[in-house]
Amino acid sequence: MRTVPALRAQVRLRPMCDADVDAVLALDALVHSTAWSPDFLRSHLDLPDSRTNLVAELNGGLVGHGALLVVADEGHVTTVAVTPDHQRMGVGRVLLAALCRDAGRRGLVAMTLEVRVSNAAAIALYRRFGFAPSGVRPGYYADDGEDALIMWIHDVGGPGFKARVDEEAGRG
């Protein structure tokens, strides 16, 4: 357990807004090899029926963000990212718990995501919430041709799902 409870308790989540776009892109530039354009990111905002975009703040600064795309009765986690200085302090867990709870509130039945097969940190985080590998998309990432691991949760909204999310949300 490497969470820093006092710090994590100060993390605040709120919906992402237009004014966050530059800070989100700056964060992504630190942790991802490819970047979304500002306009593409902006096009994801203010679509409450199909998208949830959250930012995590600590002491007024943006330290993470996460997003969910709703497709029919499934939720696709499109990103979870935490600034390098604040990783391994529970911020990613807080963000993913919020996206999972959002999926439950929306009445979705499943959640899925793609993650680089080499991304052990993210895969470990996703496994904690019950995401299980279901296949590989060969060469999914255009920048370097890395494969994507496809992960699914099929019991969204069920008692086991709620218990896992509550446990992770309360950890630390």
Q: Which residues bind ligand COA (CB under 6 A)?
A: 1-3, 31, 79-82, 87-93, 115, 119-122, 124-125, 128
For ligand COA, the nearest residue by Cβ is 92
Q: How far is the CB of 102 from ligand COA (least distance, A)?
A: 17
Q: Which two tokens stand for residue 71?
A: 């497709």
Question: How do strand 110-116 and strand 74-82 relate by DSSP bridges?
Answer: parallel
DSSP H stretches of helix in 4-119 = 5-8, 21-31, 38-42, 91-105
| Comparison of 80 and 100: residue with beta carbon closer to ligand COA | 80
Q: How far is the CB of 1 from ligand COA (least distance, A)?
A: 5
Q: How far is the CB of 19 from ligand COA (least distance, A)?
A: 21
| Comparison of 59 and 107: residue with beta carbon closer to ligand COA | 59
Helix (H, G, I), strand (E, B) or coil at 36: coil
Choose the catalytic residue: 114, 141, 146, 167.
114
Is there a catalytic annotation at residue 126?
yes
Is there a catalytic annotation at residue 114?
yes
Q: C-alpha 169: how far from its chain's center? A: 13
DSSP 86: G
| Inter-residue contact 132 to 152 (CB < 8 Å) | yes
What gap in Å lies between CA 66 and CA 82, rounded to an integer? 9
Q: Alpha carbon of 39 to those of 25, 150, 160: distances in Å?
A: 11, 27, 38
Choose the catalytic residue: 57, 74, 126, 168.
126
| Comparison of 11 and 108: residue with beta carbon closer to ligand COA | 11
| Inter-residue contact 94 to 13 (CB < 8 Å) | yes
| Comparison of 148 and 156: residue with beta carbon closer to ligand COA | 148
Q: How far is the CB of 160 from ligand COA (least distance, A)?
A: 19
Catalytic residues: 114, 126
